Amino acid sequence: MTGQELEATGYDIPPELKQQVTVTSIDKIYNWGRRNSIWPMMFGLACCAIEMICTAASRYDLARFGMEVMRPSPRQSDLMIVSGTVTKKMIPQIVRLFNQMPEPKYVLAMGACASGGGPFKEGYNVVSGVDRYIPVDVYVPGCPPTPQALLHGLITLQKKIDSQSIRRVGWYDKKVSAEAIPVPVLGPDIMDPREYAQIARYTAEKRQKEAIAAQTPGGTAQAAPAGH
Protein backbone atom coordinates (compact mmCIF):
# COMPACT_ATOMS: atom_id res chain seq x y z
CA MET A 1 0.00 0.00 0.00
CA THR A 2 1.42 3.38 -0.99
CA GLY A 3 1.30 6.52 1.12
CA GLN A 4 -1.44 7.86 -1.16
CA GLU A 5 -3.57 4.74 -0.62
CA LEU A 6 -3.06 5.02 3.13
CA GLU A 7 -4.41 8.57 3.05
CA ALA A 8 -7.35 7.72 0.76
CA THR A 9 -9.86 7.64 3.58
CA GLY A 10 -12.84 9.14 1.76
CA TYR A 11 -12.69 12.26 3.96
CA ASP A 12 -11.73 15.72 2.68
CA ILE A 13 -8.37 16.47 4.24
CA PRO A 14 -7.02 20.01 3.67
CA PRO A 15 -3.83 19.95 1.53
CA GLU A 16 -1.85 21.99 4.09
CA LEU A 17 -2.64 19.35 6.70
CA LYS A 18 -1.55 16.54 4.39
CA GLN A 19 1.93 18.03 4.20
CA GLN A 20 2.35 18.02 7.96
CA VAL A 21 0.81 14.79 9.18
CA THR A 22 -0.72 11.60 7.81
CA VAL A 23 -4.44 11.42 8.42
CA THR A 24 -5.97 8.03 7.87
CA SER A 25 -8.64 5.73 9.25
CA ILE A 26 -8.19 3.08 11.93
CA ASP A 27 -9.07 0.36 9.41
CA LYS A 28 -6.45 1.54 6.91
CA ILE A 29 -3.56 1.79 9.36
CA TYR A 30 -4.56 -1.42 11.15
CA ASN A 31 -4.81 -3.41 7.90
CA TRP A 32 -1.64 -1.78 6.54
CA GLY A 33 0.30 -3.08 9.53
CA ARG A 34 -1.24 -6.54 9.38
CA ARG A 35 -0.91 -7.12 5.63
CA ASN A 36 2.79 -6.26 5.68
CA SER A 37 3.76 -8.45 8.61
CA ILE A 38 1.93 -11.74 8.11
CA TRP A 39 3.84 -14.44 9.96
CA PRO A 40 3.20 -17.88 8.43
CA MET A 41 3.41 -20.98 10.59
CA MET A 42 6.47 -23.08 9.82
CA PHE A 43 5.11 -26.44 8.84
CA GLY A 44 4.74 -28.43 5.65
CA LEU A 45 2.94 -31.65 4.82
CA ALA A 46 4.25 -32.99 1.50
CA CYS A 47 5.83 -32.04 -1.84
CA CYS A 48 4.08 -28.63 -1.97
CA ALA A 49 6.13 -27.68 1.10
CA ILE A 50 9.29 -27.75 -1.04
CA GLU A 51 7.81 -25.02 -3.25
CA MET A 52 6.82 -23.06 -0.15
CA ILE A 53 10.42 -23.29 1.09
CA CYS A 54 11.65 -22.05 -2.33
CA THR A 55 9.27 -19.09 -2.06
CA ALA A 56 10.90 -18.08 1.20
CA ALA A 57 14.45 -18.44 -0.18
CA SER A 58 16.52 -15.80 -1.95
CA ARG A 59 15.14 -16.08 -5.51
CA TYR A 60 11.52 -15.23 -4.64
CA ASP A 61 12.19 -13.62 -1.28
CA LEU A 62 9.09 -13.52 0.90
CA ALA A 63 10.79 -10.79 2.90
CA ARG A 64 9.56 -8.31 0.28
CA PHE A 65 6.09 -8.89 1.73
CA GLY A 66 7.13 -8.91 5.36
CA MET A 67 6.29 -12.61 5.54
CA GLU A 68 9.72 -14.14 5.94
CA VAL A 69 9.41 -14.68 9.68
CA MET A 70 7.99 -18.19 9.71
CA ARG A 71 7.05 -19.02 13.26
CA PRO A 72 7.60 -22.40 14.88
CA SER A 73 4.66 -21.81 17.22
CA PRO A 74 0.97 -21.42 16.35
CA ARG A 75 0.70 -18.86 19.17
CA GLN A 76 2.81 -16.44 17.12
CA SER A 77 1.39 -17.21 13.66
CA ASP A 78 -1.10 -15.25 11.56
CA LEU A 79 -1.26 -17.61 8.61
CA MET A 80 -1.43 -21.37 8.19
CA ILE A 81 -0.19 -22.44 4.74
CA VAL A 82 -1.50 -25.97 4.30
CA SER A 83 1.18 -27.15 1.88
CA GLY A 84 0.62 -30.76 0.97
CA THR A 85 -1.56 -33.83 1.26
CA VAL A 86 -3.84 -33.78 4.29
CA THR A 87 -4.08 -37.30 5.64
CA LYS A 88 -6.68 -38.53 8.12
CA LYS A 89 -3.87 -39.14 10.59
CA MET A 90 -2.72 -35.52 10.31
CA ILE A 91 -6.02 -33.61 10.33
CA PRO A 92 -6.50 -33.76 14.17
CA GLN A 93 -3.11 -32.07 14.58
CA ILE A 94 -3.90 -29.46 11.91
CA VAL A 95 -7.20 -28.55 13.58
CA ARG A 96 -5.50 -28.37 16.98
CA LEU A 97 -2.80 -26.05 15.61
CA PHE A 98 -5.46 -23.88 13.96
CA ASN A 99 -7.32 -23.59 17.27
CA GLN A 100 -4.08 -22.54 18.99
CA MET A 101 -3.49 -19.65 16.58
CA PRO A 102 -4.72 -16.30 17.90
CA GLU A 103 -7.18 -14.18 15.94
CA PRO A 104 -6.97 -12.66 13.39
CA LYS A 105 -5.81 -15.78 11.58
CA TYR A 106 -5.93 -16.99 8.01
CA VAL A 107 -5.59 -20.26 6.12
CA LEU A 108 -4.17 -20.72 2.63
CA ALA A 109 -4.75 -24.10 0.95
CA MET A 110 -1.69 -24.62 -1.23
CA GLY A 111 -2.07 -27.06 -4.11
CA ALA A 112 -4.55 -29.65 -5.31
CA CYS A 113 -4.17 -31.93 -2.26
CA ALA A 114 -4.92 -29.30 0.38
CA SER A 115 -7.72 -27.80 -1.72
CA GLY A 116 -9.58 -31.00 -2.60
CA GLY A 117 -7.54 -34.17 -2.09
CA GLY A 118 -5.63 -33.84 -5.37
CA PRO A 119 -4.32 -37.02 -6.99
CA PHE A 120 -5.07 -38.92 -3.76
CA LYS A 121 -8.69 -37.78 -3.50
CA GLU A 122 -10.11 -41.31 -3.47
CA GLY A 123 -7.37 -42.59 -1.17
CA TYR A 124 -8.47 -44.44 1.98
CA ASN A 125 -6.22 -42.24 4.12
CA VAL A 126 -6.66 -38.78 2.55
CA VAL A 127 -9.02 -35.95 3.46
CA SER A 128 -10.75 -34.46 0.40
CA GLY A 129 -9.78 -30.89 1.18
CA VAL A 130 -8.73 -29.23 4.40
CA ASP A 131 -11.78 -26.92 4.16
CA ARG A 132 -13.93 -29.80 5.40
CA TYR A 133 -12.55 -29.05 8.85
CA ILE A 134 -11.10 -25.52 8.95
CA PRO A 135 -12.12 -22.34 7.08
CA VAL A 136 -9.90 -21.56 4.08
CA ASP A 137 -9.37 -17.97 2.93
CA VAL A 138 -7.34 -18.51 -0.25
CA TYR A 139 -6.96 -21.53 -2.53
CA VAL A 140 -3.85 -21.82 -4.72
CA PRO A 141 -4.28 -24.33 -7.57
CA GLY A 142 -1.50 -26.51 -8.96
CA CYS A 143 0.34 -29.76 -8.32
CA PRO A 144 2.55 -28.33 -7.05
CA PRO A 145 1.87 -24.60 -7.38
CA THR A 146 4.98 -22.66 -8.40
CA PRO A 147 6.48 -20.12 -6.01
CA GLN A 148 4.94 -17.42 -8.23
CA ALA A 149 1.51 -18.99 -7.73
CA LEU A 150 2.00 -19.04 -3.97
CA LEU A 151 3.07 -15.39 -4.07
CA HIS A 152 -0.08 -14.59 -6.03
CA GLY A 153 -2.12 -16.37 -3.35
CA LEU A 154 -0.38 -14.34 -0.64
CA ILE A 155 -1.06 -11.09 -2.52
CA THR A 156 -4.71 -12.19 -2.80
CA LEU A 157 -4.72 -12.65 0.96
CA GLN A 158 -3.30 -9.13 1.39
CA LYS A 159 -6.20 -7.80 -0.70
CA LYS A 160 -8.65 -9.67 1.52
CA ILE A 161 -7.05 -8.12 4.61
CA ASP A 162 -7.34 -4.66 3.00
CA SER A 163 -11.07 -5.18 2.59
CA GLN A 164 -11.73 -6.06 6.26
CA SER A 165 -13.11 -3.58 8.75
CA ILE A 166 -12.52 -3.74 12.48
CA ARG A 167 -16.22 -2.90 12.96
CA ARG A 168 -17.45 -6.03 11.19
CA VAL A 169 -14.99 -8.77 12.16
CA GLY A 170 -15.62 -10.99 15.18
CA TRP A 171 -12.07 -11.17 16.59
CA TYR A 172 -12.73 -9.01 19.59
CA ASP A 173 -16.09 -10.56 20.32
CA LYS A 174 -15.47 -12.99 23.19
CA LYS A 175 -18.29 -15.30 22.12
CA VAL A 176 -17.10 -15.62 18.53
CA SER A 177 -13.36 -15.85 19.19
CA ALA A 178 -13.78 -18.37 22.04
CA GLU A 179 -15.36 -20.95 19.74
CA ALA A 180 -12.80 -23.64 18.91
CA ILE A 181 -13.31 -26.15 16.13
CA PRO A 182 -13.83 -29.67 17.58
CA VAL A 183 -10.72 -31.74 16.97
CA PRO A 184 -11.52 -34.74 14.72
CA VAL A 185 -11.01 -38.18 16.22
CA LEU A 186 -8.97 -40.81 14.39
CA GLY A 187 -10.44 -44.27 14.78
CA PRO A 188 -11.14 -46.90 12.10
CA ASP A 189 -11.90 -43.77 10.06
CA ILE A 190 -11.75 -40.07 10.84
CA MET A 191 -14.75 -38.78 12.77
CA ASP A 192 -15.83 -35.19 13.09
CA PRO A 193 -17.37 -34.50 16.52
CA ARG A 194 -19.82 -32.14 14.80
CA GLU A 195 -21.31 -35.17 13.04
CA TYR A 196 -21.71 -37.38 16.12
CA ALA A 197 -25.52 -37.07 16.10
CA GLN A 198 -25.65 -38.15 12.46
CA ILE A 199 -23.27 -41.07 13.10
CA ALA A 200 -25.36 -42.22 16.10
CA ARG A 201 -28.58 -42.03 14.05
CA TYR A 202 -27.02 -44.00 11.20
CA THR A 203 -25.69 -46.67 13.59
CA ALA A 204 -29.09 -47.05 15.29
CA GLU A 205 -30.86 -47.44 11.93
CA LYS A 206 -28.33 -49.99 10.77
CA ARG A 207 -28.69 -52.06 13.95
CA GLN A 208 -32.47 -51.94 13.64
CA LYS A 209 -32.32 -53.21 10.06
CA GLU A 210 -29.93 -55.98 11.05
CA ALA A 211 -32.23 -57.04 13.91
CA ILE A 212 -35.26 -57.18 11.58
CA ALA A 213 -33.27 -59.15 9.01
CA ALA A 214 -32.12 -61.62 11.69
CA GLN A 215 -35.75 -62.27 12.76
CA THR A 216 -36.96 -62.79 9.18
CA PRO A 217 -36.29 -66.35 7.92
CA GLY A 218 -34.02 -66.10 4.88
CA GLY A 219 -33.94 -62.29 5.23
CA THR A 220 -30.81 -60.23 4.66
CA ALA A 221 -29.90 -56.88 6.13
CA GLN A 222 -30.21 -53.98 3.70
CA ALA A 223 -26.85 -52.71 2.44
CA ALA A 224 -25.63 -49.73 4.41
CA PRO A 225 -25.25 -46.48 2.47
CA ALA A 226 -21.66 -45.68 1.54
CA GLY A 227 -19.66 -42.83 2.99
CA HIS A 228 -19.96 -43.61 6.71
Interaction mask 126-145, ligand SF4, x per CB under 6 A: -----------------xx-
Stretch that binds ligand SF4, among 70-78, 105-113, 162-170, 193-201 (CB under 6 A): 105-113
Least distance to ligand SF4 from the beta carbon of 48, Å? 3
Least distance to ligand SF4 from the beta carbon of 145, Å? 8
Q: Which residues contact 39 (CB under 8 A, 6 or more apart)?
A: 67, 69, 70, 71, 76, 77, 78, 79
* Rounded alpha-carbon distances, angstroms, from residue 9 to 2, 4, 13, 22: 13, 10, 9, 11
Report residue 28: phi and psi, to 5°: -65, -45
Cα angle: 143, vertex 66, 6; to 5 degrees:
115
Based on the shown chain and the rule CB under 6 A, indicate whether residue 53 belongs to the binding site for ligand SF4.
no
Based on the shown chain and the rule CB under 6 A, indicate whether residue 56 belongs to the binding site for ligand SF4.
no
Stretch that binds ligand SF4, among 11-19, 110-118, 177-185, 204-212 (CB under 6 A): 110-118
Instruction: Map the footprint of ligand SF4 across residues 152-211, applying CB under 6 A.
Output: none
Out of 112, 134, 140, 190, name the contact with ligand SF4 by CB under 6 A.
112
Based on the shown chain and the rule CB under 6 A, indicate whether residue 46 belongs to the binding site for ligand SF4.
yes
DSSP-based three-state secondary structure for 5: helix
Report residue 119: phi and psi, to 5°: -65, -15
CB-facing half-sphere around the CA of 216: CA atoms within 13 A: 11
Which residues of the shown chain bind ligand SF4 in the complex (CB under 6 A)?
A: 46-48, 84-85, 111-113, 118-119, 143-144
